[in-house]
Structures are given as C-alpha cells and as structure tokens.
Amino acid sequence: VGIVTPSYAEHAYAWEKAGHNVITMASHQVDQHIALLDTLILVNPNNPTADIYTEQQCISWLENLNQRQGWLIIDEAFIDCCPELSLSKLTPLKGLIILRSIGKFFGLAGLRAGFVLAKPRVLNNLNELLGPWALSNPSRYVCIHALQNLTWQNQTRLYLQQQSQRLNCLLTQYQLKPTGSTQLFQWVHTEHAGYIHQQLAKQAVFTRLFSQPASLRFGLPANKAEWQHLESALQNVVKNNLATISTGLDIHELIQE
C-alpha cells in the first residue's frame, strides 16, 4: 500500500493495523513506485502540502494498478472548496474509490459523517459491513440541509478564497511565506517550525506542527479580533526572534527557554 506523505497519519495507521505493508513516498516519487503497489492512497488536495493531482495523473496510476487488480483510493476531504477539481465523475472506473467528508468545508466535523463513491459492488460490500445505523438521523438531517444549500456553498467558497489570500499575505509579511495553500489553510515549510510553534502557542495561537518535514499549518482566523491577535503574535515571535535564531544558537536551547 503506497501513501504519499506528509499527509493524514490515520491512513497509514489504519492500513498497518490491518496487516498491510505500507510504503511512504513523496508526491514526485509515485511514478517510480507505482509498479510495486497494489493500492495507492492520495489525499487531493493534500493535507498539509496542498498538492493537487490531475485527472491525467490519476487515470495513469489507476490503469497501472488495474494490471494487478489494484485500487486507487482518493481522499477528497478538502475538495469542496474547489469542486471543479474533484475526480468523482471517474468513479465508474474499475478500481477507483473516492472518499468525501462534510467536516472540513462545511465545518461539521462533529457529525462524523463521510461518503464513499465507487462502483456498486464496492458500495454494496460496504453497506453489508457498516449495517443500517452507521449514521444517526440527526446527522442525516444536517447533512442533507448542508448539501442542498448551494447559495451558502457558493458564498462560502468566495469568502474562504479571500481569507486564504489574506492569511498568505500576512504570513509572507512576517517571513513565513507559505509553501502550499488551500482555501482552508496555509502550509509553511521552515526549519524553525518547532520553535515558532511553541512561541506562538505561548500567545494562544495554535498551529499544527509537522516534523517530516519541519513545517507548520495555519488555519484561518474566524473574526477581526483573531486576525489582530495572530498578527500581534507573529510580530512578537517572528519579527523579534528569528534574528536570534539566525545567530547560530542551538534550536533546542531556544525551545527550552
């Protein structure tokens, strides 16, 4: 089972727990590994790198996997921000499974609701496995209304695009130019990720810290007060302290301060 990393750690954990041999790789290494795989798992757009895989790429990998009766599983948890990039229309293809979530774009993670798009045989097998009560009636009700509210969806996509660009500019202003971007987060690759993460946390700004590679994921502030708070914290940590880091002081000493 091949998994592109960095990405959701739960994918690798679940496949390893089920007894499969997991091979991790960077996005640019898929072509050189594909012939060795029975299953390839992609997150599109990827979290946290924001990498996007094209329809042409995915069809090529799927055709290779089909030679071994393999599977291409695409997690589109973040795709609702840019639905034109979804590969859902390809699900009639043999060996393709697409996962969708209502937790990210819709902000309804508490529903614990997800969706699977695949050929009927796969869906029938999942129905038998999950049973009739996989989702509560209140969750079904909320999901239906969220998915039917197209006006809200269109307005939210525009709003998130504007806010994402604003966050990108703010981080760039404070020497943290994002390496990857989606409408919901900005990913910053920096060797000082651990230090910045800790110093921001001391000011009640919480980022997602990654070690491989050293990087940070920034979500969108919710209101004017949070934007001001983030900028103040960035100014305190980045503008005032990165000069200290560049002097050669051991990063571990800084973290322990």
Q: Mean pLDDT, to the nearest integer, of 39-67?
A: 96
Task: Name the segment(s) of the chain with CATH classification 3.90.1150.10.
Answer: 151-256
Provide the pLDDT for residue 132.
85
Model confidence at 173, pLDDT cuts 50, 70, 90, reads: very high
Model confidence at 133, pLDDT cuts 50, 70, 90, reads: confident
Q: What global pTM score does this model have?
A: 0.88
Model confidence at 238, pLDDT cuts 50, 70, 90, reads: confident
Provide the pLDDT for residue 109.
86
AA letter at 29:
Q
**pLDDT greater than 60 at residue 184:** yes
Task: Name the segment(s) of the chain with CATH classification 3.40.640.10.
Answer: 2-148
**pLDDT greater than 50 at residue 105:** yes
**pLDDT greater than 70 at residue 159:** yes
Helix, strand, coil percent content, the chain, rounded in steps of 5: 50, 15, 35
Burial of 84 (0-12, 13-18, 19+ CB in 10 A): exposed
List the CATH code of the domain at 151-256: 3.90.1150.10
Matching residue, tokens 């981080």? 171
Provide the pLDDT for residue 212.
86
List the CATH code of the domain at 2-148: 3.40.640.10
Provide the pLDDT for residue 2.
97
**pLDDT greater than 60 at residue 118:** yes
